[in-house]
Structure 1
Amino acid sequence: MKIRKAMMSPATAFACMLLLLFGLRVLAICPPMCQCARSHRVVDCSGRNLSQLPDSLQHNIRVLNLSCNHLGDLDRLLSHFAHLRVLDVSHNRLPRMPVHLPRALWEIHASGNRLRLLDKNDTAYQWNLKVLDLSGNELERVVFINNTMPNLRSLNLSHNKFWTVPTNMPSNLETVDLSHNFLVQILPGSLDRLPQLAYFYLHNNRFSAVSENVFSQLAGLRLITLNANPWACEDEENITDLLSWMQHTPARVLGCPCYTRHVCGEAHQLPPTGAWHIASYTQSPMSGEARDHRWPSMQAVTSSSLSKWAPSNQPSNMSATNLSAVDPVVFKSAGIPLSSSGRGLSTGRAHRTSTTPSPSSKKTSGVIRSTNQGLPLGAAQMPALNLLLTAAVLALT
């Protein structure tokens, strides 16, 4: 051994030591069953049938994807990754949130596990957390401590087993998804500390009514979904306040309780005056039965109705072919949306005439009047023809 050291120069020995150290480090940077990027600080170990945390993970990793594996316990195994920002452990077999998670985390994705409870200590020290996704678990209760997770903006608790909306949710939340649960009530005051909540998803639950003024403190609300709930519309005492709130909120409400329309409570700005108008519902302009305050009232008849009502001896310039060609143009000029077939409101019946028709509706009324004039002309000619026939018979006799 001494002979080898004597034969090796100091520079060569130093180079060998560096090569050995860096060689071991290269082998330790990225586990062989994972893929790494961005200087090996983004690690993807998803879908590898892992039952335990891979060895040789670099301590300064920032993103770790462990989704779609068979992990059942990560307690105290991630605490030393002090620079970790994004952790994805979704679709594993975790019965609870891992203990001692890094406090530098920005995002935690833990959907599709077996979580039954989110304890107050699970999130007590997550001061930097912005996104928390716990959807698709078996959660019945979550416990938040006041003034914890001050930076949390998005909370996804959908597809769980909640019966009531969680209380003490972080005050700076902007998006909360509680859809596809078993929610039946919102306790009074539960939402009063959420002034920045903009998107609130409550569809596919079991609400029949909500407490009075439960949404009144949501000053920043932009969208709320209430569809697929068994609202008790016959119970006026408990549902009136909700219906009144829907009529006055500037937020977009999807799935209006006690309405057949899909959208309600949306504020519309009318172009002529610039004044705000709160519509009880909005409807797609392509609907055949659509009615809107912006569309002029008019007498409307489809081409099929015109051809049916017109007499057999109609003038040559009002043939059924001409009517079919003119009809779509008339409806388009009047502002009535065409159906997919290219015709107007294909209801098969006439509508009442407006008392103050628009200029375009006057054109349509003129077409209808000229068509109906064929019937009186034919009726007037019949007595004259009868007299002529009678005179001819008498002359022959």
Structure 2
Amino acid sequence: MPACSASLVCLLLLLLCGLLGGLVLCICPSVCSCSGGHRVVDCSSRGLTKLPPGLQHNIRFLNLSFNSLQDLDGQLSHYAHLRTLDLSYNRLESLPPALPRSLWDIRAAGNHLRTLDKNDTAYHWNLKVLDLSDNELERVVFINNTLLSLHALNLSHNRFWTVPTNMPHNLESIDLSHNYLAQIIPGSLDRLQRLAQFYLHANRFSWLSEGIFDKLIGLEMITLGDNPWACEEEENITRLLRWAEQTHATVLGCPCYTRPICGKTHLATTGKHSALFTEPPLWVNSRGERHDGQSPARTAEVTSSYQAKSALFETGIYQDKRDVNESEDHILFVWTSSTSFNSFSTHTSTAQPQSASKKPKVANSRNKGHGLHVDTKQTVTLTIVALMITFTIF
């Protein structure tokens, strides 16, 4: 009998430890807001200069956008369950090293990144979305046969003069708009046979080599508008115009303003196009300032129940459509554009942004400094069991 009582006492202690363990694990930093069992964490627009303490080790979504972070060297490496990381609009000069290899989505727009080294992305086999737009990038280096899962790459609003070579060959969407691109090295696009959307508008192209797009067999849409095409050089431009008319892809912004849209597909489906160009977030301009002149602070959306969007989810190409159970890991990203084609004209290849009055919605999940949260049902259940065992013993 004493042995039985001792066993029951041990069981009671284990249950109490489990209850206390729940208290320790379910922590949300007081400066952030959390949902989804504290695994979806929004710390955007909090004026942070360092990573907030108290983050759970098993978080899945972390929004650190619109802060003043400068260095996160090694601070995120042990969050081995992290799927989405938003570092947009901070003060980073390089992508933090040793990011978790579990990541599906990295967003670091609006920082001060100058280069992307091969080691920055060498081991991110699971990465699907990489957004480095609105930085100061002049060079990116990718290693062969890496980033095999990467489907969307946004390098718009940077300082590229040449289209990057050796880009991951499974890419479906590449945005290189609003750079200083003047050439595409022959053969550099030949491996991108799954590429469907290619954004090249608002650059400095005057001509392109013959057959430069011929290996893009999956191409569905390409943007070429707002480039200074050398229309007087008939020999060079005629080949490009001929390709633009004969390709099965939709060409938005035909060279030399011959027409707004080219391509055989457009001829068969005139009036049915809704996709146009990528745009920066509706409440910021190309350098992170809001349309109303205020600082970007307090403008990012607050995350809520795995359905909140990151600071860049308002961009057309990265509009996400989610049907997520909070207990599951899978998130489906669908890259579409919400920009209406009606705003297109023959003299510009950028879409008119929607009204700047459309501000992000803030969810009521702010964690008003309480810090510790415990699932109510779990707490009640464990308490009842503990009381029953206590009565049995005594």
SS at match of 2:257: coil
What does residue 224 of structure 1 align with? 222
Counterpart Cα distance in 1 of 2:199 and 2:18: 57
Deviation at 1:22, TM superposition (A): 4.0
| C-alpha displacement of 1:19 | 5.5
Q: Which consecutive residues of structure 2, in runs of 5 or more, have no partner in the other structure?
A: 1-8, 273-394
Structure 2: which amino acid aligns with 1:164? T
Q: Deviations over 1:158-188 (max 9, x none)?
A: 0000000000000000000000000000000
Q: Which has the higher contact order (CA 8 A, sep 6+)?
A: 2
* Alignment-derived partner of residue 171 in structure 2: 173
**1:123/1:13 Cα in 2 relative to 1: closer, same or farther (>3 Å)?**
closer
TM-score (norm 1): 0.63
* Aligned amino acid, residue 207 of structure 1: F
Aligned pair 1:42/2:36, yes or no? no
Secondary structure in 1 matching 2:240: helix
Deviation at 1:283, TM superposition (A): 8.1
Q: Partner of 1:89 in structure 2?
A: 87
- Quickly say closer, same or farther: Cα 1:65–1:221, change in 2 above 3 A: same
Deviation at 1:140, TM superposition (A): 0.4
Question: Is the 8 Å Cα contact of residues 60 and 83 (structure 1) preserved in structure 2?
Answer: yes
Partner residue of 2:239 out of 232, 238, 241: 241
For the 8 Å contact 1:201–1:226, the answer to whether it is kept is yes
| Counterpart in the other structure of 2:153 | 155
State the SS of the aligned residue for 1:267: helix
Aligned counterpart in structure 1 of residue 62 of structure 2, from 58, 64, 74: 64
The equivalent of 1:324 in structure 2 is: none
C-alpha distance in structure 1 between counterparts of 2:200 and 2:11, whole Å = 70
Is the Cα contact below 8 Å between 2:250 and 2:266 reproduced in 1?
Answer: no
Higher helix share: 1
Hey, what's the Cα distance between the residues in 1 that align with 2:182 and 2:234?
18
Match of 2:278 in 1: none
- Give, in angstroms, the shift of residue 21 of structure 1: 4.3
Q: Distance in 2 between matches of 1:211 and 1:133?
A: 28
Q: Are the aligned partners of 1:212 and 1:241 in contact in 2 as well (CA < 8 Å)?
A: yes
Matches of 2:150 and 2:110, distance apart in 1:
21
Query: Residues 241 and 44 (structure 1 numbering): CA distance in 2 closer, same or farther, change over 3 Å?
Result: same
**Distance in structure 2 (CA, Å) of the matches to 1:96 and 1:35:** 27
Contact 1:261 1:283 survives alignment (8 Å): no
- How far 1:237 moved relative to its partner? 2.3
Q: 1: CA distance between counterparts of 2:186 and 2:213?
A: 10
Q: Distance in 2 between matches of 1:50 and 1:110?
A: 16
The amino acid across from 1:233 in the alignment is: C
- Paired with 1:269 and 1:15, the residues of 2 have a C-alpha distance of 69
Identity score, percent: 64
Aligned residue pair count: 264
Aligned to 2:6: none
- 2:130–2:154: 8 Å Cα contact kept in structure 1? yes
Specify whether residues 268 and 107 from structure 1 end up closer, same or farther in structure 2 by C-alpha distance, changes over 3 A only: closer
Q: Whole-Å Cα distance in 1 between the matches of residues 149 and 129 of structure 2? A: 9
Superposed CA deviations along residues 354-376 of structure 1, whole A, max 9, x for unmatched, are xxxxxxxxxxxxxxxxxxxxxxx
How far apart are residue 266 of structure 1 and its match?
A: 3.4
Distance verdict in 2 for CA 1:269–1:255, change over 3 Å: closer
- Which sections of structure 1, spanning at least 5 residues, go unmatched? 1-8, 271-278, 285-397
- Indicate how the Cα distance of structure 1 residues 207 and 57 shifts in structure 2: closer, same or farther if over 3 A, else same: same
Residue identity matched to 2:36: R
Question: 2:266 and 2:252 mapped to 1: Cα distance?
Answer: 15
The structural deviation recorded for 1:23 is 3.6
Provide, for residues 127-152 of structure 1, a one-character-per-residue CA deviation record: whole Å limited to 9, x for no partner.
01000000000000000111110010
Which among 134, 137, 141 is matched to residue 136 of structure 1?
A: 134
User: CA 1:16 to 1:171, structure 2 compared with 1: closer, same or farther past 3 Å?
Assistant: closer
Q: Residue 34 of structure 2 aligns to a residue in which SS?
A: strand
In 1, the alpha carbon distance for the partners of 2:55 and 2:249 equals 47
1:196 aligns with 2:194: yes
Matched ranges for 1:347-362 at <5 A: none
